Structure 1
Amino acid sequence: MDSFGNTAAKAEAWIAGVLLVLMVVFVFTGGIARMMHTPMNWTIDAATWAFAWATFLCADIAWRRDSLMAVDLFTRRLPISAQKGLTILNYVLIIAFLIFLVVTGLWLSWTSWERSFRGIPSISYSWITLSLPVGGLLLLVTTGLKVKRDVFLRSRA
């Protein structure tokens, strides 16, 4: 990965970490406030926002680091050509799903622009739903880099 890619990956990991900490802080603050009989309903909405964004950022980080669960009990016993064919098929299915996620996420964000949070009425709900297309695009870029690495570069070796 180039210098820009490394910097972007570090920034993504930092942002994901901050969002996860914020989510915990929001839930904890809301729980303490509710226990003190002064509920802060906005903390649940803020935690939901942080969770939605952190989920996609963390998924991209795990995908980039090859840290997602994989079951290769049967595929590793196949011939190399069959393994490569299954790898290509998997990437095609993943790319198709991510394109669907980006398109429907954009549509959902567009249609929910008028909707607001229950606890924060002045903020649009689209700030949560935008995590779908943005996360999908990040995952799509990562998948493209994996295709380049696993299909095109390894076929030359």
Structure 2
Amino acid sequence: MLKTLGDTLDRIFQMVLACLFAGLIGVVFMQVAARNILMVPMTWTLDLAQLLFSWCIFLGAAFAYRRGGHYLVNLWPKNSPLNIIPKIATYLAAAIVVYVLVRHGIIMSLIGLNRVALSLNISEFWFYLPIPICGAFIGLFTIEALLDRNSK
């Protein structure tokens, strides 16, 4: 059940990240073209690029974590009984990261409710929201990996 959810989220993340990254490239291109070719400053593009970048970074981190591409430690051969040591360290580190991202990400997001990105006229809540969302997804993917590992 959790594996099916993870696989579905993986496909959704791929599509969303592709759209966010394309949007980021488009906004930055528009900013550079407007400034250097048209000689017209477009200040809203700075905030929009920052917003898209924030979502790309944090959703991309969760996406990479699920695929095992966020970080990898190879200390011993694959079938060594000592491989349990880095696995335990990995799950403990993931739990700490999830706690920090979720707890402090929520705090930052709530602080952002009281601030407005003037050029976009939206709450800065949206700039910080990907932090706790990323933490929640990494937590979900950690549970998925633990259950998958224990079922083998």
Cα shift readout 1:25-72 (whole Å, capped 9, x = no counterpart) = 011101111121211111111111111111122222222222234231
RMSD: 1.9
- Structure 2 match to 1:149: 148
Letter of the 1:15 partner, please give it: V
> How many residues end up aligned between the 2 structures?
149
- Structure 2 match to 1:26: 27
| Equivalence map 1:1-157=2 (5 Å) | 1-2=3-4, 4-35=5-36, 36-72=38-74, 75-76=75-76, 80-120=80-120, 122-150=121-149, 152-154=150-152
Identity of counterpart residues, as a percentage?
A: 24
Cα pair 1:13 1:57 within 8 Å, conserved: no
SS at match of 1:76: coil
TM superposition outliers: structure 1 runs of 4+ over 4 Å = none
TM-score by length of 2: 0.88
Unaligned runs of 5+ in 1: none
- From the superposition, tell whether residues 5 and 79 of structure 1 become closer, same or farther in structure 2 (CA, over 3 Å): closer
Distance 2:98 2:132 in 1: 9
35-44 or 5-14: which moved more?
A: 5-14
Q: Quote how far apart the aligned CAs of 1:8 are.
A: 2.5
TM-score by length of 1: 0.85
Distance 2:67 2:20 in 1: 20
